[in-house]
Structures are given as C-alpha cells and as structure tokens.
Amino acid sequence: MNKNITVLRGDGIGPEIVAEALKVLDRVCEKYGHTFTYTDVDIGGCSIDKYGVPITDEGMAKCKAADSVLLGAVGGPKWDSCPPAIRPEKALLAVRKELGLFANLRPTKLFPQLADSSPLKQEIVGNGIDLLIVRELTGGVYFGPKKTEEVNGELVATDIMPYSEHEIERIGRVAFETARKRGKRLASVDKANVLDTSRLWRKTMHRLAEEYPDVELSDILVDNTAMQLIKNPTQFDVLVTENMFGDILSDEASMLTGSIGMMPSASLSEGTLGMYEPIHGSAPDIAGLNIANPLGTILSGAMMLRYSFDMAEEADTIEAAVNAVLDAGYRTGDIMQEGCTKVSCSDMGDLVAERI
C-alpha cells in the first residue's frame, strides 16, 4: 500500500524520537512491501523561528492532505514568552481543530517487564495495568471563548467551557465502540455535582448506553477518578472524559507505567485521517543528547498503522518488537533498572527495527 505521511518533528527531543519511529516504519515497509512517503512540516518553536507563526497555512494544508500525521513534540522555554496567539502549543490545537481530530485515545499499559518502574506497590499493580483514556479533543475550555480584561481596576480572565450534545455524543460513541472491543466496561468521568457541561455529559452518556447494552457504563467524578487511578487502577477498562479532565488524567495515568516516555496516542477524526504522537512533551532539558525514550513515538506509529491504515498485523509486529526489546533487557535512561543494558535513543530505534 502507498501512504502519505506528514511528519511534524517539532521541538526539543521531537526530531530525535520521530527519527526512530520512521526507522521502524521503514522496516515495516520493507517487510510488508508498503511505500510510505514522508513530507516534513515545521511546527511549534522551530516554525516560529523560521516563519513567525507556529504553523504556516501551507503546512496545515499538507497535514489535511495526508493519509495521516506523525508528531514529535512542540514547545520549550525559548518560546514561553511568545504572545498566546503564536505560542507553539497553538499550532497543535489548530491542527487538532482543523483536521477534526475530536477523539484522543491514550492507552495506559504497564509492560510486565517494567513493573518495577511503576511508583505503585506490586500489590496495587497486580497482574498489570491496561486501561484506555478516551479524551474529547476539540471542544470544552480549550476552544471556548476566552478573554482577559480590566474590570474595576484589576485584570479579570475568563475561559468558557461549552459542550454541545452532538460533541458529547460523537466522543461517547467512540468510547462505547472501543469498550465493546475491549473489556466492555466504560467509566464516564465528569464533575456533574458542580458543572452544567458535566450534567449534559452524563445525560448524553446514559442515553447512548441504551444502544450499547453489552457495555457496562458507570459514572465517576473526576476528583474521585484521580484518586482511584492511584488506589486501584486495575478496576478501569475504558474511561471517557472531556478535554481538560482528559489532559490531566492521562498524565497521571502515564506515570502508573513508570515513564511518560512509553505512552503513545492517537487523535482520530470521523474518517481515517489521524494524528499520532507520544503523550509527553518536548523535554528541552535532554534535547540533542540522544538519551530520550523513543518507544512512545514508535508505539504511536503502530497506532497509526492500526487506526488510519487498517494494518493490524503490521501494528502487532511493531508492538511485539518493542516487547522483545524490553524482554532482552534494553532500557533508555528513564526506565533503566538494575541488571539491564542502558541504551541511547537511536540504539533503541535500531533494536526495535532489527526485530521487525
């Protein structure tokens, strides 16, 4: 199959980790006879430096025209003082919105080989953590009206969190469908004791539940979810939640697995176009040192094959290769354990590619 992939390497460790993911995708192409054509587009700080904007219109058009998009990470202290309209993160939000990427899947899986890297005790981790956060990605407070104004001699800032029924319904459907293919348990996370948006969320999820009698739906408040993720993470199968709650809970969940560097994500639209990225940031403190963990990006590549290209076997092959490398005791610094072999970012990419 021929596929066009727009590649957004971004800032910090972005270019290093993306290079390793492409190495692995190239091996997949060789093995299965596919051709992937990569088109690079600058995003974030590197684009601000070159063009004065975090993504150009031309770059955005290349994202829209692709079969899928692979992203490293954006941002860094150098651009922290940029005005809000041209901050690096703005480009990420714009791509999500323009491409209609409303469904963000963030799987949290504790690889058994890394059980010791989890900050949780063995008795809590049990036989392993395997949950999936389905985060609404193009609505809520991230995209609602916002302003900062002077009122009675002081500054007042406002961010509005709007949600319409159709936005809740379409993310709800993705969550129910996904739960149906996994453990058939869906926890809908909200703050219905306080927020109107959450009350509408809950009502909509319950209405949808009637169409999915085989999926067990439960409601859980977001503050309680934050606690339960630490206290008893194995109770969860699929969680569905609004944009900002999902942002916060997915960082929390990633730590259960020992390192945020391991976690991939998929951002999906109504069609097959998707954007795939590790959930971690640009880690400017270790940029250019060739020590970052590329596995989250490599596993994001696997998600791309599975969700955008319908290449389940190829995706399985990448995941199995990552497993084999961990089994063989290779670790980047963030997941290093006694008795293992510490490797660089590029070595890790080679090791995975060799096992495809």
Query: Is residue 252 within 8 Å of residue 279, measured between CB atoms?
Result: no
- With respect to ligand IPM, which residue has the nearer C-beta, 92 or 179? 92
Q: Of the candidates 293, 280, 220, 219, which has an alpha carbon nearest to the alpha carbon of residue 253?
A: 280
Burial class (CB in 10 A: 0-12, 13-18, 19+), 30: exposed
Q: Is 277 in the site for Mg ion (CB under 5 A)?
A: no
DSSP β-bridge partners for residue 356: none
Q: Is 247 in the site for ligand IPM (CB under 6 A)?
A: yes
Q: Of the candidates 169, 226, 222, which has an alpha carbon nearest to the alpha carbon of residue 200?
A: 169
Query: Is residue 59 within 8 Å of residue 41, measured between CB atoms?
Result: yes
- With respect to ligand IPM, which residue has the nearer C-beta, 128 or 144? 144
- With respect to Mg ion, which residue has the nearer C-beta, 70 or 263? 263
Query: Is residue 91 within 8 Å of residue 275, measured between CB atoms?
Result: no
Binding mask 295-334 for ligand IPM (x = CB under 6 A): ----------------------------------------
Q: Is 247 in the site for Mg ion (CB under 5 A)?
A: yes
Catalytic residue selected from 3, 90, 109, 191: 191
- With respect to ligand IPM, which residue has the nearer C-beta, 167 or 314? 167
* Pairing verdict, β 274-276 and 266-268: antiparallel
- With respect to ligand IPM, which residue has the nearer C-beta, 251 or 350? 251
Closest-by-Cβ residue to ligand IPM is 89
Could you say which of ligand IPM, Mg ion, none residue 89 binds, taking C-beta under 5 to 8 angstroms by partner kind? ligand IPM
- With respect to ligand IPM, which residue has the nearer C-beta, 28 or 71? 71
CB of 89 to ligand IPM, least distance (A): 4
Q: Is 190 in the site for ligand IPM (CB under 6 A)?
A: no
Q: Is 242 in the site for Mg ion (CB under 5 A)?
A: no
CB-CB neighbours of 116 under 10 Å:
11
Quote the Cα angle for 144-148-149, to 5°.
130
Query: Is 191 annotated as catalytic?
Result: yes
Q: Of the candidates 318, 308, 307, which has an alpha carbon nearest to the alpha carbon of residue 21?
A: 318
List of residues 6+ apart from 290 with CB closer than 8 A: 16, 344, 345, 346
- With respect to Mg ion, which residue has the nearer C-beta, 242 or 319? 242
Binding mask 260-299 for ligand IPM (x = CB under 6 A): -------------------x--------------------
Could you say which of ligand IPM, Mg ion, none residue 175 binds, taking C-beta under 5 to 8 angstroms by partner kind? none
Query: Is 42 annotated as catalytic?
Result: no
Q: Radius of gyration (Cα) for the chain, nearest Å?
A: 20
Q: Is the dihedral of CA 186, 187, 190, 193 positive or negative?
A: positive
CB of 247 to ligand IPM, least distance (A): 4
Q: Of the candidates 349, 351, 329, 347, which has an alpha carbon nearest to the alpha carbon of residue 339?
A: 329
CB of 87 to ligand IPM, least distance (A): 9
Catalytic residue selected from 247, 276, 330, 334: 247
| Among residues 25, 48, 92, 189, the one that binds ligand IPM under rule CB under 6 A | 92
Distances (CA, A) of 82 to 3, 77, 259: 35, 10, 30
Query: Is 223 annotated as catalytic?
Result: yes
Q: Of the candidates 66, 127, 106, 146, which has an alpha carbon nearest to the alpha carbon of residue 299?
A: 106
Could you say which of Mg ion, ligand IPM, none residue 92 binds, taking C-beta under 5 to 8 angstroms by partner kind? ligand IPM
- Give residue 39's identity as a one-letter amino acid code: T
Catalytic residues: 142, 191, 223, 247, 251
- What residues line the site for ligand IPM (CB under 6 A)? 89, 92, 247, 279
- What residues line the site for Mg ion (CB under 5 A)? 247
